[in-house]
Structure 1
């Protein structure tokens, strides 16, 4: 099976793990809830009668809704207008030689000052173009297509070495088509505000929260605390009590750290160890070599 990849390189994205995850997900899902959708890799690849995707990042959700509610052609032409206005590179039409660059080194040097101007305009809400498209263009031209904000809420990813090339366009087309065909509903909400009372035995909730014992851009500035962790586990317990299926992605151990809160809670459920990045190294082998990260899927079915 071929899985659609999000055009956003969101930290903790699950695209590479989708073959393992979907094999562990229940079949014949009525309502699917993606509680921490992030880059939406899971939301756009799950077959269900209805999919709801939630995230606390309002700009992320706004972008997804923009992509869902506009045609591919409209989005592409909008990005091309931004590229032309800021005189960013267009290697698809002009090639690398035009920018005195090559594929290996990329066009970051050429784009840097132009990209920083676009970033400045976006952060200062200078709306020459739709904000969602400005945001997405920054992601496309930004380092590794990542998303990160500073303490003041400003987008602060540096320039990357790629641009709006054929691969990005094809990826975007597949992603938009999947979200529109599945009619995924995207909503900006804290996980504690999501209504789960309407869920029944034929429904399924997937949670991929920030990991308590790892460091990532989404987990900076107390983005995820022990209080958050306990609240989520209580929510999952309540689902289990009502016979609603759930799956939780998380890390039980990393280097010399253990998530004891999660470890104690998970004893009541089923723990599935995941192979990271399709490597042949099992968790036990990694433990013997000293490179330890135990990523798991915890289910109540």
Structure 2
């Protein structure tokens, strides 16, 4: 399977390296920063706990699982009326009472529609938690993917998949010996002028990166196999200097600036050989 939406920091281009570094055998799969779920959908585990702090994204996963038909009907409606003006009106729903009156499936359809037609498929909100990405320039965006939505819905319902909307540390509380955790947090910026922010309204500070490293250590002590992606920032390398650090080259296509796009070096950290 493939992800049902674009997502900032998605890992589709890094899949070969991630798959090569994964453990061969594990029990339950955990992904506390699931995002678009590129690795999750690629391996399609029978037992998994997926989580993200972004409640709108997790609601989309839940609606695909529980209400795929209603979701597709709403996406068809968005497809029918899609235009720049229509998009801007839908985007503005979180600036008035419309958003709080939407059903869960309406919110999911709104999100998936916006991510299909906006600039670079970005999820970005302002300080008031209002979506603010401009309309994209796609000639024929695929807003409705019937087969994929039904395929993902069937997979989520036919396997033991827990979908959580919690803090990353809470999401791995149940992980034990023989399980596998993949962390894909908001990356530490490569340059000093960048701020520690993320796709969550609350942000992801350096202190959170340290807490994540401490969680990595705790899981290691519990016998859990752990893999983590991050930038090749000296800060990231320093945080994980006691573990196995693999440098990989990948293509980033949706960076905020020209300098953050193109071939870049990232790290993949593992606590196993």
Q: What is the TM-score with the length of structure 1 in the denominator?
A: 0.74
Contact map agreement 2:164 2:171 (CA 8 A) in 1: no
Unaligned runs of 5+ in 2: 253-261
Q: 1:158 to 1:182 in 2, by over 3 A?
A: farther
Which residue is 1:238 aligned to? 218
Residue of structure 1 aligned with 2:28, choices 17, 27, 31:
31
Unaligned runs of 5+ in 1: 89-110, 279-290
Contact map agreement 2:51 2:164 (CA 8 A) in 1: yes
- CA drift of 1:294 comes to 2.8
Q: 1:144 to 1:267 in 2, by over 3 A?
A: closer
Which residue is 1:194 aligned to? 171
Aligned mates of 1:171, 1:145 — CA distance in 2: 18
Structure-to-structure mapping, 1:15-30, within 5 angstroms: 15-30=12-27
- CA drift of 1:133 comes to 1.4
Aligned mates of 1:268, 1:134 — CA distance in 2: 43
Q: 1:155 to 1:77 in 2, by over 3 A?
A: same
Residue of structure 1 aligned with 2:109, choices 133, 138, 145:
133
Residue of structure 2 aligned with 1:269, choices 243, 246, 251:
243
| C-alpha distance after superposition, 1:48-107 (max 9, x if no partner) | 341111111111111111111123x432222113444xx32xxxxxxxxxxxxxxxxxxx
Residue of structure 1 aligned with 2:162, choices 177, 185, 193:
185
Residue of structure 2 aligned with 1:77, choices 52, 73, 77:
73
Matched pairs, number:
254
Q: 1:180 to 1:164 in 2, by over 3 A?
A: farther
Aligned mates of 1:161, 1:250 — CA distance in 2: 30
Q: 1:43 to 1:223 in 2, by over 3 A?
A: same
Aligned mates of 1:292, 1:75 — CA distance in 2: 36
CA RMSD of aligned residues (A): 2.8
Which residue is 2:258 aligned to? none
Q: 1:19 to 1:170 in 2, by over 3 A?
A: farther
Comparing 215-224 with 145-154, greater Cα deviation is found at: 215-224
Q: What is the TM-score with the length of structure 2 in the denominator?
A: 0.81
Larger radius of gyration, structure 1 or 2?
Answer: 1
Give the match's secondary structure for 2:60: helix
Which residue is 1:8 aligned to? 5
Aligned mates of 2:95, 2:107 — CA distance in 1: 10
- CA drift of 1:293 comes to 4.1
